[in-house]
Amino acid sequence: MAAHVGASRTPQEVMEHYVSMYIHGNLGKACIPDTIPNRVTDHTCPSGGPLSPSLTTPLPPLDISVAEQQQLGYMPLRDDYEIEYDQDAETLISGLSVNYDDDDVEIELKRAHVDMYVRKLKERQRRKNIARDYNLVPAFLGKDKKDKEKTLKRKITKEEKELRLKLRPLYQFMSCKEFDDLFENMHKEKMLRAKIRELQRYRRNGITKMEESAEYEAARHKREKRKENKNIAGSKRGKEDGKDSEFAAIENLPGFELLSDREKVLCSSLNLSPARYVTVKTIIIKDHLQKRQGIPSKSRLPSYLDKVLKKRILNFLTESGWISRDAS
């Protein structure tokens, strides 16, 4: 325009004249609307459109060694793996081509294939984001244990670990920070409830100031310690009394002092007097020795010894080593 007007006008002066006279002047006010509607749909917006760059925006490369990259099949420059989620997703569009003679049905079918492929890309990227957010790759390589120990502010209880395992499906709906905040808030709630119960207990015992609680806790600790010592002493006495009463039926009978502790228990369980047990034991051991020397034994066991008592006593003498197992 400046060349057409002539050398008397510079390009800057021509531009200023055009803007002031035609755009901001009366002609511009009459022809150009105040707001120009945008009739173009932006398909590249990061709000998740079909061509949104957020779908395929690569994440920062993982900080792992070359050997670990080979183990995972990871390509850091592309932030890709040799085997991705839904590895055959590209087959949906690899054979598509746009032809001018396609009818409406074929065009819609191809659009449907593209839409299916985009959905698979979204899911693939979503899984990568979850793995990156929760440090699943370092966890797989065993690198996250030291980092957890450094960043851990409190000790996680067994119940919380089990609850975290149960709530693992929520990983895909919550970020790592939101998930940690959830458990931190649950821990705070638990501590606050315990504190409320403690304060209510103080109130029931007539304590209205925190300064009085220290004296109360000291007295309560002493009282519980005395009760615990009393229970321990009572349990010891009970055991001693029980042990004495266990042999109360046979301890005054003759031959009781000749028995060992195991023999006392046996006689007490069989309701057999010590003298009768010693008699049966002597006969059985004598017969056993005669048989080992090749002498036939014709001794008869007492009539009060039935088959059950005989079997129990033979088993006991065999286990104690008085007689051999083949003889019993």
The DSSP code sequence of 101-150 is T--HHHHHHHHHHHHHHHHHHHHHHHHHHHHHHTTHHHHHHT-HHHHHHH
pLDDT, tens digit (0-9, with 9 covering 90-100), for 41-83: 665 555 555 555 555 566 677 778 888 888 888 887 777 788 8
Contact 128, 59 (CB under 8 A): yes
| Residue 52 included in any domain | no
Segment holding 80, helix H or strand E: strand 80-81
Distance CA 319, CA 316 (A): 5
Do 71 and 147 lie in one domain? The reply is yes
CATH value at residue 316: 1.10.10
Considering only CA atoms, which of 42, 77, 40, 71 is closest in space to residue 59?
77
Does any domain span residue 177?
yes
CB 204: neighbour CB atoms within 10 A?
8
From residue 241, give the alpha-carbon distance in Å to each of 44, 181, 260, 265: 88, 57, 19, 15
| Among 291, 281, 296, CA closest to 326 | 291
Residues of the chain with pLDDT under 70: 36-59, 144-153, 234-248, 297-299, 325-328
Residues 169 and 228 in one domain: yes
- Residue 145's pLDDT is what? 59
| 58 inside domain | no
51 occurs within a structural domain? no
95 and 139, same domain (yes or no):
yes
Alpha carbons 323 and 328: distance in angstroms, whole number: 7
Q: Which of 153, 173, 197 is the last residue of a domain?
A: 153
Same domain? For 116 and 131 the reply is: yes
Buried b or exposed e, range 104-142, using 16+ CB within 10 angstroms: eeeeeebeebeeebbebbeebbeebebbebbeebbeeee
The tally of domains found in the chain comes to: 4
Query: Rounded to two decimals, what is the model's pTM?
Result: 0.40
Domain of residue 193 covers 154-235
Gap between the Cα atoms of 106 and 97, Å rounded:
11
Residue 245 resides in a domain: no
Structure tokens at 57: 């925006």
Return the pLDDT at 151. Answer: 58
Residues 125, 165 within the same domain = no
- Tokens at residue 127, please? 């899984």
Q: 137 and 189 in one domain?
A: no
Q: Say if 326 falls within a structural domain.
A: no
Q: Rounded to an integer, what distance in angstroms lies between the CA atom of residue 114 and that of residue 95?
A: 11
CA distance 125 to 46: 14
Q: 296 and 265, same structural domain? A: yes
pLDDT in tens, 81-113: 888 888 888 888 888 888 888 888 988 998 899
Q: Is residue 13 part of a domain?
A: yes
Q: Are 132 and 162 found together in one domain?
A: no
Q: Is residue 251 part of a domain?
A: no
The confidence score (pLDDT) of residue 132 equals 82
Nearest to 97 by CA among 87, 88, 107, 89: 107
Note whether 129 and 178 are same-domain residues.
Answer: no
Q: Which of 153, 187, 219 is the last residue of a domain?
A: 153
Please check whether residues 130 and 158 belong to one and the same domain.
Answer: no
